[in-house]
Amino acid sequence: MVKVGVMGYGTIGSGVVEIIERNNSVLAGRIGDAIEVKSVLDIREFEGDPIHDKIVHDYKALAADPEISIVVETMGGVEPAFTFVKEMLENGKSVCTSNKALVADKGAELFQIAKANGVSFLYEASVGGGIPIIRNLSETLTAEVIEEIAGILNGTTNYMLTMMSEEGWEYEDALKDAQAKGYAEKDPTADVEGFDACRKIAILTSLITGRTVDFETIPTEGISKVTATDIKYAKAMGRAIKLIATSVVAGDTYVARVAPYLVPSTHTLYHVSDVFNAVFVHGNMLDDAMFYGSGAGKLPTASAVVADIVEIAKNPGKVIDMSWSDEKLVLGDVSEMTTAFFVRTKKDIAAVKAVFGDVELVTAEGVSGEIGFVTPIISEKDFAAKSSALGDVIGYLRMK
Amino acid sequence: MVKVGVMGYGTIGSGVVEIIERNNSVLAGRIGDAIEVKSVLDIREFEGDPIHDKIVHDYKALAADPEISIVVETMGGVEPAFTFVKEMLENGKSVCTSNKALVADKGAELFQIAKANGVSFLYEASVGGGIPIIRNLSETLTAEVIEEIAGILNGTTNYMLTMMSEEGWEYEDALKDAQAKGYAEKDPTADVEGFDACRKIAILTSLITGRTVDFETIPTEGISKVTATDIKYAKAMGRAIKLIATSVVAGDTYVARVAPYLVPSTHTLYHVSDVFNAVFVHGNMLDDAMFYGSGAGKLPTASAVVADIVEIAKNPGKVIDMSWSDEKLVLGDVSEMTTAFFVRTKKDIAAVKAVFGDVELVTAEGVSGEIGFVTPIISEKDFAAKSSALGDVIGYLRMK
């Protein structure tokens, strides 16, 4: 009998308990042993709920329970999750987490503790919800050098951008709607400013390079400056605005960024709408591939946690290694990255051409008193200098 | 040192050799040991080619080579591939294959032989080319009951349907173009009549159920009856025609089918164009997911073979189990499956309504002398009876 402990009976934690109950016989068949949730750590009691009998309040007692071999962490945040997870690993329990903040911040340290104690620390659910992107990058696309990852990794902002595009809404309307539907938090900063996507692309980049990427060094812009007028221009260009977290090989390192991009309809990410997530991967042999699915939500995310449990339970005594080292990966210089930019300005065409040269003008229905144009492919550094020289820039977006 | 033998130096086999050379240090890092191709079995000599020194002609000599622990089979067809693979397994070598005909026809037998000899028989490249669908169904989506698979599993036909849609071509024009580009064989039957996709969905259904699906029991229609007029109707409905290989849970079994479907633009498979493949999966917890990529081609397919090699080489002495038993899975009765049908007929609307009841008429620009309509959702059996009662049916397609 494989006995599991769950830390945090919120959305994902209760989903894990539900899947282990509902798919119990299928899971037992795959593991080759019966499986059950023995204890659930939460500060609440859940009186009257069937889970009440399994609730415990002391993480040290959970860690000391010799029957429990696998612990799920679905509390979120760095502390006290880190302290609790460390205690579990040191007590010889493998841990599966959905907590991207924990993995991005403390991953390398927790991998080392896990290895030292002969157990596994897995985190499939921390990126892309139900999309099995961690396992695909670490165990499946193993013949590849991954040259590019471009992900729609935040369902909340993708929902908002989809609604802005479909309904013509301004950002504020989309945010209110997302909050009303429970997709966005009361304080939506982590989602809308790209901080959530930033941690996720840091995790993916650490995984493919084997070294720790400091998420704080990734230039990150969210969608809060995207307007209904930007969407009109995007449509006029046959493009969609998507918040993309990207990591691209650059010499012996990668350059990473989170920003809203104008994605052409020929790109597979163009069609990823609503709360869905997708991860586009370019391998040096495989060429383009994409993994698509529910990036959030109770059961899809819990499904990824349970897949971690199954892999650990199927391989008793084995340390499953999806780790990276604590050696830092210094990311490449973004200012040297090149792309075409879409720019909106109050200046006239002559001024634009004088600064940017041969640009492509874009007109959008119902937009006046400004001009929109696409620059040639230039470096970030050049763009910063030129847009400053031009002046009166209302906004800009990168072209994917 | 991991030494590999390759049987068949055609497109995929030479791709395997190329990847092992080009990504050699990355592969060695992942395996934890150096890797090289020692011998290549082919009837040809390849004089003047660097591979010439590794060419061998006797499969028994390859099987007897104690240095070779993993053999790749990229010959295609059931014989002599089966005889050769059996010999390798019986000599204690693990085998990785790209050969869907072999896996669909002899899978269960080869898994048993592999297990009896303590080696692995893997086949990631046999379905979906570079898309890692075998590993995702067997090792990644392990928390799920897979309720539906719908795959665009044949790149040739998807390319042809894309060109018919984009260029307004008839089927024959698209076939000639695909042959000229090397996507379709001189005898294109296996692709255009759906036989290739049929073997692939048989493999996927066997994998998720653990029992052998006889591919000959899967109702299979290809695209050779699809016309430029059908495409016009599809566009009028905002749909695309895609050759879909599908397997859907039905009680304690599955119903499978290969046929051209009218796919709505809201479905993720709608956007899969050109030679790309994609596998849509619906899990009971995960909901919808999709795996997309190069379904054919030298390097993408070879990448999947090399991923099998890496998994075997990383786990010496372990039998990697992605098998099913030789027990037959009796597929569900297709005649009870229900769907809406798009129908073209020379009969008038009154006759159509008298037989099918409340249908939805479809008009397409430039099409006259017939009527197109969509039936209510009815069973296959009812549809057969009613279309026979109506008479003068020019053609029909199922609605996805």
Per residue in A334-361, pLDDT (tens digit) is 999 999 999 999 999 999 999 999 999 9
Q: Which of A23, A30, A144 sits opposite B285 (nearest CB)?
A: A23
Query: CA B219 to CA B334: how far, in whole Å?
Result: 8
Tell me the shortest Cα–Cα distance from B178 to chain A, in angstroms: 21
Other beta carbons less than 10 A from residue B116's beta carbon: 11
Looking at the complex, report in whole angstroms how far the Cα of residue B122 sits from the nearest Cα belonging to chain A: 13
**How far apart are the CA of A19 and the nearest CA of chain B, in angstroms?**
7
Task: Name every chain B residue with its beta carbon within 8 A of the beta carbon of A145.
Answer: 23, 26
| Class in CATH terms, B141-294 | alpha beta
Give the pLDDT score at A129: 93
pLDDT value at position B63? 98
Fold of A2-129+298-327: Rossmann fold (3.40.50)
Q: What pLDDT does B274 receive?
A: 94
Widest distance between CA atoms in chain A: 75
Residue ranges of the alpha helices (H) in A168-278? 171-180, 189-192, 195-209, 228-236
CB under 8 Å to A388, separation ≥6 — which residues? Answer: none
Any idea which architecture A336-399 has in CATH?
2-Layer Sandwich (3.30)
Helix, coil or strand: residue A162? helix
Residue of B106, B200, B232, B386 with catalytic role: B200
Confidence band of A296 (pLDDT split at 50, 70, 90): confident
Residue A131: its chain B contacts at CB < 8 A?
289
Q: What is the pLDDT of residues A184-211, one digit of tens each?
A: 999 999 999 999 999 999 999 999 999 9
Pairing between β-strand B338-339 and β-strand B378-379 as defined by DSSP bridges: antiparallel
CATH of domain B334-399: 3.30.70
Positive or negative: CA dihedral A349, A355, A361, A366: negative
- B28 interaction partners in chain A (CB closer than 8 Å): none
B144/A287 touch (CB, cutoff 8 Å), yes or no: no
Q: Do B19 and A285 touch (CB under 8 A)?
A: yes
Contact flag A23-B141 (C-beta cutoff 8 Å)? no
A289 and B130: CB-CB below 8 Å? yes
Q: Note whether B141-294 and B334-399 share their fold.
A: no
List Cα–Cα distances, B20 to B3, B33, B294, B299, B358, in angstroms.
Answer: 11, 13, 19, 11, 60
Which has the closest alpha carbon to A276: A187, A367, A154? A154
Mean pLDDT of the region A10-25: 98
pLDDT > 90 in chain B, percent:
99
Q: Which CATH class is domain A139-294?
A: alpha beta
> CB of A42 within 8 A of CB of A59?
no
Question: Could you tell me which residues of chain A have a Cβ less than 8 Å from any Cβ in chain B?
Answer: 19, 22-23, 26-27, 30, 130-132, 135-136, 139-145, 268, 271, 283-294, 297, 299-300, 302-307, 309-311
| pLDDT exceeds cutoff 90 at A56 | yes
Residues of B in contact with A302 (CB under 8 A): 143, 285
B2-129+298-328 to CATH, choices 3.40.50.300, 3.40.50.720, 3.50.50.60, 3.90.580.10: 3.40.50.720
Which among A100, A200, A386, A400 is annotated as catalytic?
A200
**Cβ partners under 8 Å of residue B182, min gap 6:** none
Question: How confident is the model at residue A295, as a pLDDT?
Answer: 87
The answer to whether A43 and A102 have CB atoms below 8 angstroms apart is no
Smallest CA–CA distance from B299 into chain A, residue = A285
In chain B, domain spans: 2-129+298-328, 141-294, 334-399
Q: What is the mean pLDDT of residues A222-242?
A: 98
pLDDT of residue B295: 87
How far is the CA of B18 from the CAs of A241, A283, B12, B56, B306, in angstroms? 38, 15, 10, 18, 10
pLDDT at A60: 97
Residue from A25, A122, A286 whose CB has the most chain B CBs within 10 Å, to mutate: A286
Contact indicator for B96, B123 with CB cutoff of 8 Å: yes
Q: In angstroms, what separates the C-alpha of A270 from chain B's closest C-alpha?
A: 10
Cα B74 from Cα B90, distance rounded (Å):
19
- The per-residue b/e assignment along B195-224, b for 16 or more CB within 10 angstroms, e otherwise, is bbbbbbbbbbbbbbbebbbebeebbbbbbb
pLDDT in tens, A101-139: 999 999 999 999 999 999 999 999 999 999 999 999 999
* Distance from chain centroid for Cα B89: 25
Q: Do A289 and B292 touch (CB under 8 A)?
A: yes
> Pick from B144, B286, B293: which is nearest to A290 by CB?
B293
Q: For residue B142, list chain A residues with Cβ-Cβ distance below 8 A.
A: 27, 30, 306-307, 310-311
The nearest alpha carbon in chain B to A267 belongs to: B271
pLDDT digit string (tens) for chain B, length 400 residues: 999 999 999 999 999 999 999 999 999 999 999 999 999 999 999 999 999 999 999 999 999 999 999 999 999 999 999 999 999 999 999 999 999 999 999 999 999 999 999 999 999 999 999 999 999 999 999 999 999 999 999 999 999 999 999 999 999 999 999 999 999 999 999 999 999 999 999 999 999 999 999 999 999 999 999 999 999 999 999 999 999 999 999 999 999 999 999 999 999 999 999 999 999 999 999 999 999 999 888 999 999 999 999 999 999 999 999 999 999 999 999 999 999 999 999 999 999 999 999 999 999 999 999 999 999 999 999 999 999 999 999 999 999 9
Contacts of B284 in chain A (CB under 8 A): 22-23
- Please report the sign of the dihedral spanned by the C-alpha atoms of residue A301, residue A302, residue A303, residue A309: positive
In this structure, the strands spanning A94-97 and A68-73 are parallel
Radius of gyration of chain B (CA): 23
Q: Note whether ipTM > 0.90 here.
A: yes
User: Is A200 assigned a catalytic role?
Assistant: yes
